[in-house]
Structure 1
Amino acid sequence: MASPQNDNGYLPFLDSLPGRAHPAVFTGCGVAYSRASTITTRDRSLDGYSRDKFPHWITQSGKCDMREVVLKRDGTDVVQSSSCTATSGTWYSPYDGETWTASSDLDIDHVVPLSNAWKSGASEWTTQDRQAFANDLTHPQLLAVTDNVNSQKRDKVSYHCTYAEMWVKVKSVYNLTITSDEKNALVEMLDQC
């Protein structure tokens, strides 16, 4: 796997979210269009895929696993117990526009799902590379979102542009492929910017 490249741009949308700093992403849809056109288009299968091949929610510091780190980063006024569990705070879910005060109401979403990454090229990576991808705090890959809308993240029309930009960013920095249908969906979302 090629090392992910840093991008100095960001989405203005992220400035309006409550909580801590989010990973850098694109500065606009033009950049996303440009990046999308450079991503290799290829169909692959899920043969051999298992979520266990992507070690996730690894310990980051002391007793804090990746879930707790993301909850702290994405929340406002987050208080953690001595075991690093978020005991209070406020979280805004960009997928549905809801605000939550209980961390149990949130999932940590992989913007590019692990199964998609597998069929997009991660099947050829080492376990260490897949672990880095599944726990990436540098790029827009992990977000705290409402737990029951995680699978419906693309349904919020006002979020299409941001979501497509994040998807393209992750696919680009990890040199993952996209399918023709995926590319068409990304372009359709970017057209709404």
Structure 2
Amino acid sequence: MFSKIAVTAAALLAFPFTAAPASAHEARAMPLPLAEAVDLLPSATESRDGYQRTSFRHWVDADRDSCNTRAEVLIAESRVEPTVEAGCKVTAGEWFSYYDGVTLTAPGGLDIDHMVPLAEAWDSGASTWTPQRREAYANDLGAERSLVAVTARTNRSKSDQDPADWMPPLADARCTYTADWVATKLRWQLTADDREQTALTEIAAGCGQEMVDYETAP
């Protein structure tokens, strides 16, 4: 049975990572309240100059087990034993799209969402990364928050927007989503612009004791 945990070690060996820049964060941060985590995000203006989606090679088979990143996420997130056919083709399972509270049993209605979209990552610091590090980001199986199976319609509604412009349609999902967003940015040492930080701060104020737990990416 495949899982994100099972593929992580092999995936890390397969990717020629460039070490993340040094920072005040420890490799493994202690869980902290969402509002405090938002305050840790470095502030910077954003630029999309030079962005191309092809700059982030994704849905690779990093550990060469015949399952690409999309399949690995579908297998890991299915709430029941998924049906996996030859060539690691996932044909059935049960997935809960937490953005909109919808349960699906056919993978065709699912997209694998990059929690922080590729374009947003580019704007927030990934434009300076090596191609290998961008590939590692786009296929990050080392953190459950980084990639999530959700309904295609919510993923496409989100597109490349940050929380200043888009939040999940299910109100009960918004604190979790914000924590996942912040954890992903902290994991990859990505910045936030002023509008984004203001939106995150406002959302966090209404999220009680929502906690953020993250590990800095290799």
Q: Counterpart of 1:90?
A: 94
Structure 1 residues 132-143: aligned runs within 5 Å? 132-139=136-143, 140-143=145-148
Q: Counterpart of 1:112?
A: 116
Q: Counterpart of 2:203?
A: 189
Q: Higher strand proportion, which one? A: 1
TM-score (norm 1): 0.84
TM-score (norm 2): 0.74
* Counterpart AA for 2:152: D
CA distance in 2, matches of 1:5, 1:37: 18
Q: Which runs of 5+ in 1 are unaligned?
A: 9-26
Checking the alignment, whether the CA contact within 8 Å between 1:160 and 1:192 is kept in structure 2 is no
Q: Counterpart of 1:127?
A: 131
CA distance in 2, matches of 1:72, 1:192: 33
CA distance in 2, matches of 1:173, 1:108: 19
Partner-residue secondary structure (3-state), 1:99: strand
Residue number among 158, 167, 176 corresponding to 2:172 in the alignment = 158
* Counterpart AA for 2:37: R
Structure 1 residues 1-193: aligned runs within 5 Å? 2=20, 5-7=27-29, 27=31, 30=33, 32-60=34-62, 61-75=64-78, 76-139=80-143, 140-150=145-155, 151-152=157-158, 153-193=167-207
For these two proteins, the number of residue pairs brought into alignment is 173
Identity, in percent, stands at 38
* Counterpart AA for 2:151: T
